[in-house]
Amino acid sequence: MISFKNVSFSYKSFKKQVGIRGTLKDLFKREHVYHTALENITFEAEKGEILALVGPNGAGKTTLIKLLVGLIEPSTGNIDVLGFNPYKKSNKYLSQIGLVMGQKSQLTWELPAIDTLHLIKAIYRIDSKDFTERLNYFLNLLNLKDKVAVPVRKLSLGERMKFELIASVIHYPKLLILDEPTIGLDIESQRAIHKFLLHLNQTEKTTILITSHYMRDIEALAKRIMILINGQIKYDGDIKQLVNTFNKGNTIIVKTKSELPDEILGYKIKRGSEENSWEILLQAGESYYELLSYLTNNFQIESFHMKETPFEDIIFNIFTETKESSS
């Protein structure tokens, strides 16, 4: 369904020189700077996949999305989505994709959402009966029945985002692209949207591509994650594997009144943040049976539990590691 082959995108921008003199100089000769937003991107996605696109700001996520919807043309490489070249922007192609941009709205501000939906119905030529059924179905799913006649400017952010979502899927798109859809939303709305997207994916096999800075979104929705850093794909694969590969290790928190030494069986032991707690760093996947036996035999252990490195930390580590290695 989606196929990127050796896709790169660069653009030219002008360096503005400082001060009045600089502005005058610019009139005659401008310094060009070439930015490479994406470099050698190659990946494929199947129908019905949910793919999370993650990366620090400026990594190229929005550029990739713009390539997908045909807003920009790749400098090199081939893109094929649903058998189309997106940049050609054929109406047939555009009728099959849906787009949600978290920071921009497609709803008419002063009118109720239903009016924008009617406009979309006309533009995408949705059959009236289908439209009404599908709309009611979505309204029920997202709990928006009594909000449909409220002007958009009076809706809460969560309600508005839900309507943006409906507006982007009302025409049965085969591919749905979400660019930071949960920005600024409360937890309830976030979860409602997750639920909705998963349901859509399961029932209609809609392929979903989502970018987000909230790891909660990624964990809830995607099995596959693609990490973009500085315009390159640093990782593309299963999320669980990612966790296992990049997990620096887990921490055991031990609670005991006894004083623990600095080191036991080769493990370094630190004081924990709470009273009477201690932290021991383990390698990922490592068995800690020996350590535990030793601890319980030699000390009065009150409790222990495993603290897994949060997904967010793992991603953070990947971002910073790559930054360090490239600088």
Partner 1 sequence: MEKGIKEIRRSGNIMFFNYLKIVWSLSISQFFIYRLTSVFVCFFGVLFTTIEVITLFVLYHYTDSINGWDFYSFLTLSATYTLISYIYQFFFTLSHEKLIDKIVEGDLDYDLVRPIDSQLINSIKQLDIPSLINIVIAIVLLCFSVPHVLTGHIFGIVMYILFVLMGVYFYYLVNQFFINFAFWIERPYQIAAIPEYLLDIASRPRNVYPPILHVLFVWVFPILLSTNLPAEILRGDYSVVTLVYYLLFIILFSFLVRIQWKQALKKYQSAN
The helix (H) or strand (E) run that includes residue 96 is: none
CA pair distance 56, 66, nearest whole angstrom: 17
Other CB atoms closer than 10 Å to residue 265's CB: what's the count? 11
Single-letter amino acid, residue 94? L
Other CB atoms closer than 10 Å to residue 193's CB: what's the count? 24
List 38, 51, 54, 69, residue binding partner 1 (CB under 8 A): 69
Residue 188 has, within 13 A of its CA and on its CB side, a CA count of: 6
Nearer residue to partner 1 within complex by CB, 137 or 257: 137
List 23, 137, 271, 298, residue binding partner 1 (CB under 8 A): 137
**Cβ atoms of 246 and 267 closer than 8 Å:** no
3-state secondary structure of 214: coil
The verdict on 84 binding partner 1 (CB under 8 A) reads: no
List 15, 89, 240, 271, residue binding partner 1 (CB under 8 A): 89
In the complex, minimum distance from the CB of residue 233 to partner 1, in angstroms, rounded to a whole number: 20
Nearer residue to partner 1 within complex by CB, 132 or 245: 132
Residues in the chain, overall count: 327
Give the CA-trace dihedral at 167, 71, 322, 236, to 10 degrees: 60
Q: Site map for partner 1, 28-67, x if CB under 8 A?
A: ---------x-------------------------x--x-
Other CB atoms closer than 10 Å to residue 112's CB: what's the count? 19
List 92, 154, 257, 271, residue binding partner 1 (CB under 8 A): 92
The verdict on 133 binding partner 1 (CB under 8 A) reads: yes
For residue 318, give the nearest of 257, 230, 256 by alpha carbon. 230
155 contact partners, CB below 8 Å, separation of at least 6: 113, 147, 163
Q: Which stretch binds partner 1 (CB under 8 A): 68-76, 267-275, 300-308, 316-324?
A: 68-76
The verdict on 306 binding partner 1 (CB under 8 A) reads: no
> Helix axis angle, 239-246 relative to 311-326, nearest 10°?
60
Nearer residue to partner 1 within complex by CB, 114 or 243: 114
Q: Site map for partner 1, 149-188, x if CB under 8 A?
A: --x--------------------x-x--------------
Task: Tell me the number of residues near partner 1 by CB under 8 A.
Answer: 41
CA pair distance 26, 107, nearest whole angstrom: 40
List 21, 29, 32, 125, residue binding partner 1 (CB under 8 A): 125
In the complex, minimum distance from the CB of residue 271 to partner 1, in angstroms, rounded to a whole number: 49
Instruction: Report the interface residues with partner 1, using CB under 8 A.
Output: 11, 37, 63, 66, 69-73, 89, 91-92, 94-95, 97, 99, 101, 104, 106, 108, 110-111, 115, 118-119, 121-127, 130, 133-134, 137, 151, 172, 174, 203-204
